[in-house]
Amino acid sequence: MTVDGSSIDSSKPSIARVYDYLLGGKDNYAVDREIGDVFKRDLPGSVAIAFANRAALTRAVEEIVTTTAVRQFIDLGSGLPTADNVHQVAQRHAPESRVVYVDTDPQVLVHGRALLEENERTRVVPVDVRNPEAIRTHPDTLELIDFDRPVAVMFSAILHHVNDEEDPAGIVRYWRDQVPSGSYFFVSHFRSGNNPETAEAEKVLQQTFGRGRWRTDEEIETLLDGLEILEPGIVPAPLWRPGTVEGPWSGTGERELTVWERLIAAGLARKA
């Protein structure tokens, strides 16, 4: 890996760093905090989307590693490290678990290099999620992932950054065709609420990054075509098997969800 800190452009906002800021992280710059503060100030409560998403991802990893024999994960658009990354959750229950993180953000790659120094069962592949063939055939992927055995493919908060004309369904279909039966697919995705909050949040992302597509539950299900969507289906992320994980990313319990918590959906599917 050749990426270093000098390649990080602190003058332009980064999706990964804005997300880090919303989650309370420190790996962000003023330009990222400026965008994050739009959500905090003008869209109060919207930060709940980031936390609800992270909680669902944590529960999904734990669900896979404790109830199946899958021990290898590909985390697409992984973002910056926070508490309970995929490898930490998986290896807590099954130390032999292997994780390939995929991201192109330079700061993510800097952290990834540090991660490699302390965990030999992780790799970071610097390839765009829209180029799945390059990800699958990357030497670091092939070193860690055995595609003759089931794989968990994690699309955590990444497909909503793939615009319609970039064929997000085709990306999922590629991975579906490349992994064997018994593989799992986790998806979390901005969920269209057909309300002012959805429209305003989508506008902010599109104006800032040129991407950020809210989709309906039915559209999200279509992305998983050909896979068996497991219970409880595509639902608001806090309602996806809540209360199964203790800690900072636990579920919501019995309380009523906010409008913002309903704007991120999650689901788990299996290849038969």
Rg (alpha carbons) of the chain, rounded to whole number = 17
- Cα separation, 272 vs 226, in Å, equals 9
Please tell me the distance from the alpha carbon of residue 80 to that of residue 35, in angstroms, as a whole number: 17
What type of residue sits at position 91?
Q
Convert 105-143 to b/e letters by CB count within 10 Å (16 or more is b). bbbbbbbbeebbeeeebbbbbbbebbebeebbebebbee
Distances (CA, A) of 21 to 81, 165, 265: 12, 29, 21
Give the per-residue pLDDT at 162.
93
Is the pTM higher than 0.95? The answer reads no
pLDDT tens-place string over residues 56-72: 999 999 999 999 999 99
pLDDT (tens digit per residue) in 2-17 = 333 445 666 777 777 7
Write down all domains in the chain, each with its CATH number in brackets. Answer: 9-270 (3.40.50.150)
